[in-house]
Structure 1
Amino acid sequence: MIKRTILTLLFAVFFIAGVYAQKAAKISFKETVHNFGSFSEKLGSVSCTFTFVNTGNIPLIITRATASCGCTKPEYPVNPVAPGDSGQIKVTYNAVGRPGGFEKNIFVYANTDPERVSLIIKGTVIPVQRSVTPAYGHTMGNLGLKAVHVPFFEVYTGKPKTESIDVINSGKIPLAVDFNKVPRHLSVEMVPATLAPGEKGKIEITYYADKAKDWGIRKDEFWVKLPFSDKPQPQNKITVSADIQEDYSGITAGQLAKAPHLECGAELIDFGTIKGNAPVSISVPLSNTGVSNLQIRKINNDSQVVSVSLPQMSIQSGKSIDLKVTVKPSKSRSRLLNHRIFIITNDPVRPTISLPVVATFE
């Protein structure tokens, strides 16, 4: 009798241990490699998302995500992901000053076995043509400038950002300049206001994203007005570029639960081989699986070969609309199309979706 009782207890212990041993979180990615393809260094930064599902039976907790290079920034959900639920890892790569091919590893650590999962991003950065110039290689009268283009990269609403251009007075008399046709969302001043002969200073430019009333990649310009000049000279132009984004860093869990969420019906639009010059279209469903109304703020598309259209710029919760993408072979100067459309919305989890468009022309 005692032996039978001991055997029964041992069986119960092993059974319970086996049950608990089977309880685990498991992270399953739809894809673990993202290829950005070829893109210009002028884009500055590019982003992609890796979607995963917790295929385990306890909440998944991501403890950290690191990259093999400081040029790569991973972002991950901080809240536990319930069994059966999905999440996303956003990875941003800064391509500035990094021309050529790249392949970067991202390591995601969680309460899984194994603890670490590896993701890969890769692509080819097409360099911006640069000329070898002296320190102040740009001249506007007696004003020497180190640059005439100011890249702000990411600017966020509610957070003014300031960049500057180093300048020098190469003349023999004091120099003070003015600025014309400055966009309303920029503030420009020279510091100091008057440069003595040979003195160095800065043109300080402050970007107020809220006043731009725009989203995504934007370029602006203004002119430097020199003394004794009645009107701006076309060659005395300064260009400013930025990627305008909303700052979601302070969003609460309650706000996130009530937010909109964009689901795109495709991660790649592949037209395959197109014969002839007739335009060809593909429709991609865009769905709002969130709670509140989804606002499509802008679609960045700088191609003459590709055009996009939408029936409306908002999607109610639980509804869908079709994004129509049209390729015009007659506008292409190449046999290959490798383009990207950027969809910018008020989805705090994924405010910008990068949608590749590829085709071959015959």
Structure 2
Amino acid sequence: MSRVGLIGLMVLFTASLVAQIAKPVRFTEEIFDFGNIIEEDGPVTHAFSLTNSSDKPVMILSVKPSCGCTTPEWSKEPILPGKTGMVKAQYDPKGRPGYFHKSLTVTTDYDGQPITLYIKGQVVSRNVSSTSSEYQAVSGMLRFRSLSVNLGKVFRKDEFTQRNVDFVNAGDKTITYLDKFDAPAHIRVEVVPKTIQPGQRGEIRMGYNGLKKGLYGFHQDKITLYTDDETQPAKSFTVYATLEDYFVPLSAKELANAPQLYITELNVDVGNIRFKQSAVKEIVFTNVGKSVLEIRNIQGNCSCLEAVVDKENLKPGESGTIKITFTPEDRKGTQTKAVTVYSNDPQNPVQRIMVAGYAE
């Protein structure tokens, strides 16, 4: 390739990358917390506002909730430049006590790249005592807000991300933590106080070391604490975390010389897939930065999805291929999955490729 052609290609990639990072079509918020909602009061609704800062009308093509408990509505007319549209999320708490965290995947005709919105909150009932309402997860004589702990994003650093879990002794006897727990090496646990009187509240102080976990992406672990609670001595919890690399703040000069990952397609439609067959798609990715790009991990969010790269280290200007194999197995109908790519691009270290198809 000639020098002029190479420069033209790099300019094209850089312009595409800027468009990829910038968000001319964006929501003013992507997460909304309802707080405590009363189950008997019925569904609750929140409206997310979408601003079109581009130079062309934009339409919302679809909004797909992660659960049947969430009903979406959205602006059906084109959103003109400089104007706003909306996506409403209605959550039905009936029969769903405790914590919830749901998502809605929004697709527009601007670039087809999905935007994920989240709603969360705590469903309580007015028909029980205040303690029971606040702490609805029961483990023997102890009550917790939930028996699962979501740490959210945890960086792969040699330090412990801290999360405290409070609880109450709802029984009529003193309960003592026996200073014994089962947990993987990257999780540490402390209970304060170790002896909890009837009606007293306590706290589990949990630490999670992302570097010791040694993985990328979404993972779960089980931990068990042991007490002298006669009704249920062992208290088990599920701990969730999403692991990503940590990057120290860089100067403008350092950022200008950093690697940059550009993926040519972030939305892939593999079409119809016959029973017990697979669909294969290859996507080109390029290092449009000025230092070596490392692909540190790539993973699908389903056992039905395999993703591999032909190169893990790319020099500036060099390209590689991501090969995605989608095997629906026993799944039927429309399928939407994701492949996540982790790299040493400090500005965009985590990128997702959405994979859609129809399993016959």
Query: What TM-score do the two structures reach when normalised by structure 1?
Result: 0.64
Return the offset for 1:67.
6.4
Q: C-alpha distance in 2, partners of 1:248/1:185?
A: 21
Q: C-alpha distance in 1, partners of 2:278/2:310?
A: 19
* Structure 1 stretches lacking a partner, 5+ long: 1-28, 32-48, 54-61, 73-92, 109-113
Q: C-alpha distance in 2, partners of 1:96/1:323?
A: 36
Q: C-alpha distance in 1, partners of 2:165/2:314?
A: 42
Q: Match of 1:266, as an amino acid? A: E
Q: Is the 8 A contact 1:103 1:120 kept in 2?
A: no
Return the offset for 1:339.
1.1
Distance 1:106 1:300, change over 3 A: farther
Q: C-alpha distance in 2, partners of 1:206/1:97?
A: 27
Distance 1:254 1:179, change over 3 A: farther
Aligned residue in 1 for 2:300: 301
Q: C-alpha distance in 1, partners of 2:68/2:143?
A: 22
Q: Is the 8 A contact 1:180 1:232 kept in 2?
A: no
Distance 1:128 1:194, change over 3 A: farther
Q: C-alpha distance in 2, partners of 1:211/1:283?
A: 33
Aligned residue in 2 for 1:34: none
Return the offset for 1:240.
1.4
Output the aligned Cα RMSD.
3.8
Q: Is the 8 A contact 2:339 2:352 kept in 1?
A: yes
Aligned residue in 2 for 1:51: 20
Q: C-alpha distance in 1, partners of 2:247/2:68?
A: 31
Q: C-alpha distance in 2, partners of 1:50/1:95?
A: 26
Identity %, equivalent residues: 21
Q: Match of 2:169, as an amino acid? A: N
Correspondence for 1:338 among 331, 336, 339: 336
Q: Match of 1:151, as an amino acid? A: N
Q: Match of 1:340, as an amino acid? A: A
Is 151-160 or 202-211 further displaced after alignment? Answer: 151-160
Q: C-alpha distance in 2, partners of 1:97/1:171?
A: 30
Q: C-alpha distance in 1, partners of 2:147/2:272?
A: 41
Q: C-alpha distance in 1, partners of 2:219/2:160?
A: 16
Q: Is the 8 A contact 2:292 2:315 kept in 1?
A: yes
Q: C-alpha distance in 2, partners of 1:195/1:118?
A: 60
Aligned residue in 1 for 2:201: 200
Aligned residue in 2 for 1:168: 168
Aligned residue in 1 for 2:140: 141
Number of aligned pairs?
276
Q: Is the 8 A contact 1:169 1:196 kept in 2?
A: yes
Q: Match of 2:173, as an amino acid? A: I
Q: Match of 1:263, as an amino acid? A: Y
Return the offset for 1:288.
1.6
Q: Is the 8 A contact 1:165 1:204 kept in 2?
A: yes
Larger radius of gyration: 1
Give the 3-state SS of the residue equivalent to 2:337 in structure 1: strand
Distance 1:118 1:335, change over 3 A: closer
Q: C-alpha distance in 1, partners of 2:260/2:238?
A: 35
Give the 3-state SS of the residue equivalent to 2:317 in structure 1: coil
Give the 3-state SS of the residue equivalent to 2:253 in structure 1: helix
Give the 3-state SS of the residue equivalent to 1:255 in structure 2: helix
Return the offset for 1:326.
0.9
Correspondence for 2:97 among 124, 132, 142: 132
Q: Is the 8 A contact 1:261 1:288 kept in 2?
A: yes
Give the 3-state SS of the residue equivalent to 1:350 in structure 2: coil
Distance 1:139 1:275, change over 3 A: closer
Aligned residue in 2 for 1:86: none
Q: Match of 1:269, as an amino acid? A: V
Give the 3-state SS of the residue equivalent to 1:154 in structure 2: strand
Q: Is the 8 A contact 1:305 1:332 kept in 2?
A: no
Q: Is the 8 A contact 2:298 2:308 kept in 1?
A: no
1:356 corresponds to 2:354: yes
Correspondence for 1:347 among 318, 331, 345: 345
Distance 1:268 1:292, change over 3 A: same
Return the offset for 1:354.
1.4
Distance 1:216 1:106, change over 3 A: farther
Give the alignment of 1:22-171 within 5 angstroms: 50-51=19-20, 69=28, 72=29, 93-94=30-31, 104-106=49-51, 123-127=63-67, 131-132=96-97, 134=132, 135-158=134-157, 160-171=160-171
Distance 1:174 1:313, change over 3 A: farther
Aligned residue in 1 for 2:320: 321
Distance 1:211 1:146, change over 3 A: same
Q: Match of 1:162, as an amino acid? A: Q
Return the offset for 1:106.
4.3
Q: Is the 8 A contact 2:299 2:307 kept in 1?
A: no
Q: C-alpha distance in 1, partners of 2:155/2:64?
A: 27
Give the 3-state SS of the residue equivalent to 1:51 in structure 2: helix
Distance 1:277 1:311, change over 3 A: same
Query: What TM-score do the two structures reach when normalised by structure 2?
Result: 0.64
Q: Match of 2:204, as an amino acid? A: I
Is 299-308 or 334-343 further displaced after alignment? Answer: 299-308
Return the offset for 1:263.
1.3
Q: Match of 2:347, as an amino acid? A: V
Q: Is the 8 A contact 2:259 2:288 kept in 1?
A: yes
Q: Is the 8 A contact 1:106 1:119 kept in 2?
A: no
Q: C-alpha distance in 1, partners of 2:56/2:206?
A: 42
Q: C-alpha distance in 2, partners of 1:143/1:52?
A: 47
Give the alignment of 1:208-357 within 5 angstroms: 208-227=209-228, 236-248=235-247, 250-329=249-328, 331-357=329-355
Give the 3-state SS of the residue equivalent to 2:242 in structure 1: strand
